Amino acid sequence: MKTNPGSLANAVRFTYIDHARSLFKEIVLRAIGCSLKFRTIFISDIHLGTRGCKADFLLDFLKHTESDKLFLVGDIIDGWRLKKNWFWTQEHNDVVQKLLRKARKGTEVVYVPGNHDEFARDFLDQEFGQIKVVRDVIYDTIDGRRFLIAHGDECDGVMIYAKWLAILGDTAYVTALTLNTWFNAIRRKLGLPYWSLSKYLKHKVKNAVAFISNYEQAMARMARERGADGVVCGHIHHAEIREIDGITYLNDGDWVESCTALVEHYDGRWEILHWADLRGLAPTDSLSDQVPEESFSIPAFPLPTPTRIPLEATNKAKECEYSSSPMPGIPRSTVLSEL
- pLDDT higher than 80, residue 36: yes
Residue 194 in any domain: the answer is yes
Q: Average of pLDDT values for 36-61? A: 94
Please count the structural domains in the chain. Answer: 1
131-133 vs 108-111, strand pairing mode: parallel
In a domain, 87, yes or no: yes
H-helix segments, 197-247? 197-204, 206-225
327 domain residue, yes or no: no
Rounded Cα distance between 230 and 32, Å, is 30
User: Is the predicted pLDDT of residue 207 greater than 60, yes or no?
Assistant: no
Give CA separation, 4 vs 11, 80, 143, in Å: 11, 74, 53
Query: 220 lies in a domain?
Result: yes
Q: How far is CA 97 from the centre of its chain?
A: 19
**Strand arrangement of the beta sheet that strand 240-244 belongs to:** 137-140, 146-149, 230-233, 247-251, 240-244
Contact in structure between 92 and 53 (CB atoms under 8 Å):
yes
pLDDT in tens, 114-150: 999 999 999 999 999 999 999 999 999 999 999 999 9
Task: Decide if 119 is inside a domain.
Answer: yes
- Which CATH number does the domain housing residue 84 bear? 3.60.21.10
Number of H helices, E strands in the chain: 9, 12
Closest to 234 measured CA to CA, from 131, 93, 115, 79: 115
Quote the domain boundaries for residue 292: 38-300
Choose between 200 and 123: higher pLDDT.
Answer: 123
Q: Is residue 15 part of a domain?
A: no
| Identity of residue 47 | H
> Collapsing DSSP states into helix, strand and coil, what is residue 47?
coil
Residue 276: what pLDDT? 85
Beta strands in 131-222 (DSSP E): 131-133, 137-140, 146-149
What is the C-alpha separation between 173 and 2, in angstroms, rounded?
70
Q: How far is CA 259 from CA 35, 83, 112, in A?
A: 20, 24, 19
Handedness of CA 251, 255, 260, 265 (dihedral sign): positive
118 vs 173, residue with greater confidence: 118
pLDDT surpassing 80 at residue 39: yes
High-pLDDT (> 70) share of the chain, % = 57
**What's the helix, strand, coil split of the chain in %, to 5?**
40, 15, 45
| Domain assignment of residue 9, yes or no | no
Per-residue pLDDT of 216-271, as tens digits, reads 999 999 999 999 999 999 998 889 999 999 999 999 999 988 899 999 999 999 99
Residue 62 has pLDDT above 60, yes or no: yes
> Is 320 part of a structural domain of the chain?
no
The mean predicted confidence, pLDDT, of the chain is 74
